[in-house]
Structure 1
Amino acid sequence: MFQLIKRLFALIPQVEAHCDTADGPAVTDGRRALESGNLNHALKWIPADGEAELRHVFEQAMVVRSLGAEAKEVADRLFLETLVRIHRMAEGVGFTGIQGHGAAVEPVVTAADRALETGDLEPLRPLVPADRFDELAHRFEHAREKKNFAVDDVMAGRDYIAAYVSYFKYAEGEDHHHAHHAHAHGHHA
């Protein structure tokens, strides 16, 4: 029966994303929260209505992490999977686990990430249809404007993530996603 279910899930098209990869930004921020003891690094990735659940798992993970290397590994995994699951649910996408280090990510996603780091959107131009580039540039600038926020300003972090996701989903060819994600995070498109 398990094999049948596994085969059925393999037939479902997977949404291209990098928030569910071990190298992706949500997991990276989750690890930063665990290492620093400051949950605010991760809270920006989830809507306010998921905060109590994530906070509870984080508090448990912080206690269990001190019980040894194996306990730390299990606690970290539970926290990171909870973070990504809540984030994906807010996007209206199912959680299928955290993809391993080096998981394949679409070139447009890699280029979009690099553009936010460098401030240069031009490398994305050949990867996006010409008629979409102006809107992409607008979303890029919007995300960049919101990028530098204080880690303890969770609302500003959530505003940034809403702009970030809108930018990425548009780069990937999804138009409708921004309104849904912004709504899920309590923002209006």
Structure 2
Amino acid sequence: MPPHCDSLDGPVVTAARKALEERDIGQVLPYVSEEGEADVREAFGLTVRARMLGQEAQEVADRWFFETVVRVHRSGEGAPFTGLKPAGLNVGPVIPAAERALDAGSADELTGVLCGIIRKQVEERHDRAMALKEHATEGVAATRAYVEASLGLQVWAHHLYKQAIAVPHAPTRRS
């Protein structure tokens, strides 16, 4: 997914910002694994103290805390931390639709968005394969192009199926 958990307006930084504003570490702990909780608690304590040293210290401390929380969050997902991303990035249509679905308590919009995207992709990939099939008897190169398109459709559909039935997103558990 184009995760936006590492952006300044994503859910992790939003929770971290709220934790600092309310001085309530509990606002952000659900976004990190149990293994990373101690790091986040330590960073929270240091940040709260540093915020009392003036506006510049607060800005530096807040940024460091956001980076720490996102790094620990990403680690819990088994993903690398590549820095904070700016707010307002285009994450495509699916993440905003998923967020609205969670806010609204209905999956209808998200289902419609996903089904529309999949339908369009299936039709485009199928149409391409069918167009190439018409010329598949015109030699090895034409047959090869058809085979690549048809196998491409099948492999893409299989990967989509496997992703659709995969275990829901969950932090990686370490022994």
**Bin of the TM-score, shorter chain as denominator length:** 0.5 to 0.7
Q: CA RMSD in A?
A: 2.5
Code of the residue aligned with 2:62 in structure 1: it is D
For 2:79, the equivalent position in structure 1 comes to 93
Query: Which fold has the larger relative contact order, with Cα–Cα distance below 8 Å and residues 6 or more apart in sequence?
Result: 1
Runs of 5+ in structure 1 lacking a partner?
1-14, 133-169
Which structure is larger by alpha-carbon Rg, 1 or 2? 2
The secondary structure found in structure 2 opposite 1:98 is coil
Distance change in 2, residues 1:183/1:85 (3 Å): closer
* One-letter amino acid of the counterpart of residue 60, structure 1: L
Whichever residue aligns with residue 168 of structure 2, its letter is H
Shift of the 123–37 alpha-carbon distance from structure 1 to 2, 3 Å rule, reads same
Aligned residue number for residue 184 of structure 1: 173
Task: Give the aligned partner of residue 91 of structure 2.
Answer: 105
The yes-or-no answer on 1:76 pairing with 2:65 is no
% of aligned pairs identical?
Answer: 39
Counterpart-to-counterpart distance in 2, 1:62 and 1:111: 35
- TM-score, structure 2 normalization: 0.67
Q: Deviations over 1:7-63 (max 9, x none)?
A: xxxxxxxx5112111111111000000111110100000111111111111100000
3-state SS, counterpart of residue 99 of structure 1: coil
- The corresponding residue for 1:11 is none
- Work out the CA distance in 2 between the residues paired with 1:65 and 1:34: 9
Query: Structure 1 residues 27, 63: closer, same or farther in 2, change over 3 A?
Result: same
Distance in 2 separating the partners of 1:69 and 1:174:
47
Q: Number of residue pairs matched?
A: 131
What is the CA-CA distance between 1:174 and the residue it aligns to?
Answer: 6.5
Residue equivalent to 1:67: 53
Deviation at 1:182, TM superposition (A): 4.7
Give the TM-score normalised by the residue count of structure 1: 0.63
Equivalent position of 1:156 in the other structure: none
Residue in structure 1 matching 2:26, options 23, 26, 40:
40
Alpha-carbon shift at residue 176 of structure 1 (Å)? 4.3
* Amino acid paired to 2:104: T
Corresponding residue for residue 18 of structure 1: 4
Task: Verify the 8 A CA contact 1:20 1:84 in the aligned structure 2.
Answer: yes
Letter in 2 for 1:71: A
Shift of 1:79: 0.6
User: Please, which runs of 5 or more residues in structure 2 have no aligned partner?
Assistant: 119-159
Q: CA deviation at 1:178?
A: 3.0
- Contact 1:48/1:185 (8 A) holds in 2: no
Secondary structure at the aligned position of 1:70 is classed as helix
What is the match of residue 43 of structure 2? 57
Distance 1:66 1:75 in 2: 10
